[in-house]
Amino acid sequence: MSSLIDSPDSPRLEALCKKLAQAASSLEDGCDWPSEQLDWCAQAGVFRWFHRPADGGLGWNEADLCRGYVALSRACLTTAFVITQRVGACRRIAGAANEKLKQRLLPPLLKGETFATVGISHLTTSRQHWKKPVLLATEEAEGFRLVGSSPWVTGAPYADWLVIGAVTEDNRQVLVAVPTDQEGVDAPPGIRLAGLTASQTGPVHFDHVLVPHADVIAGPSADVMGRGKGASTGGLQTSALAIGLADAAIDYLETEAQRRPNLAIPASRLREQWELEYERLLRLAIEDEPSAKSRLRQRANSLVLRATQVALGAAKGAGYVWGHPTNRWCREALFFLVWSCPQVVADANLCELAHGPDFFT
């Protein structure tokens, strides 16, 4: 118990993040699944931060969770990102009306003995322009039969359980838990990405997989993602991770600025913006303002893209060499343009990038 990180102020969180930061570069070399990093997090009780004591969690409030995410992503974005997907799956299970399913799956998940991840983007931000659902669920007497694919599932080849969204023939949505060892489930190794390849993300295919009623988490209903908490798009966690990565880049710049006076103004300008976004993040963790959350995501995306590129510019050619953290941070920052990005945020970011410097003169 004594090694649990029970608050974001705990020196044990600092120690964990130091270890994660030291290991972050090597993750990119081998593109290996961060199993060691996730074990450290499990031992420190990180997976329990996000759940109520009644469910075996530590019951951190939203502001503390944001602080925790900022610290983790500042140290290692891959590990922090994998945790968000794990948490998305676990929170959906914890929020299920299906009490038996919850009792069966949640305790080993919170201890880190099993791993669950989530494939729901095709209900919200992916394949929305397709006429037919990418993953169809047909209701039968014993449950739902899944045919098709979930296009993006982080860590699927390493998962015990998948929390998957699918669409029925009458256009309702259903959220189900599927064990990865079930016949008909194919979770190939993750695809090579511009960054975060070690997150082992890729599609999962379902070839007539029967999900019994006992493993249905929610639905069928019109908007299954609107119910309960978990992996919703545009949530604060995405902004928290962007703000954490921006922090790492600005930190680097501040260190360089100590011996290079030309970097002092960019470093302090970025730090001022960072402080503002961090404050907004913690405020929005308490106040429920959906439109302000979207604006925060847009600003956090802008900040992380600019901060990481300024860091690379400061690192010069050396920063462009493989293995230097600044080019990894730049590639990782691009992820925020595409990850769980509501259309309004994506449009605003593209507009900002498209306008160019003359727009502001």
Please write down the HEC assignment for all residues of 119-139.
Answer: ECHHHCCCCCCCCCCCEEEEE
Strand partners, 218: 175
Minimum gap (Å) between residue 292 Cβ and ligand FAD: 21
Residue with Cβ nearer ligand FAD (174 or 253): 174
Q: What is the residue whose two structure tokens read 């100590």?
A: 258
Residue with Cβ nearer ligand FAD (194 or 318): 194
Residue with Cβ nearer ligand FAD (127 or 295): 127
Minimum gap (Å) between residue 353 Cβ and ligand FAD: 17
Q: What is the residue whose two structure tokens read 């609107």?
A: 226
DSSP string for 204-269: EEEEEEEEEGGGEEEEEES-GGGSSSSS-TT-HHHHHHHHHHHHHHHHHHHHHHTT-GGGHHHHHH
Minimum gap (Å) between residue 191 Cβ and ligand FAD: 9
User: CB atoms < 10 A from the CB of 276, how many?
Assistant: 12
Are the C-beta atoms of residues 112 and 34 closer than 8 Å to each other?
no
Closest listed residue to residue 70, CA positions, set 289, 285, 219: 285
Beta-carbon contacts of 59 under 8 Å, excluding residues fewer than 6 positions away, are 51, 52, 53
Residue with Cβ nearer ligand FAD (109 or 153): 153
Residue with Cβ nearer ligand FAD (127 or 213): 127
Minimum gap (Å) between residue 175 Cβ and ligand FAD: 11
Which residues here bind ligand FAD, judged by CB under 6 A? 85, 117-121, 125-129, 151-154, 193, 196, 199, 201, 338-340
Minimum gap (Å) between residue 70 Cβ and ligand FAD: 20
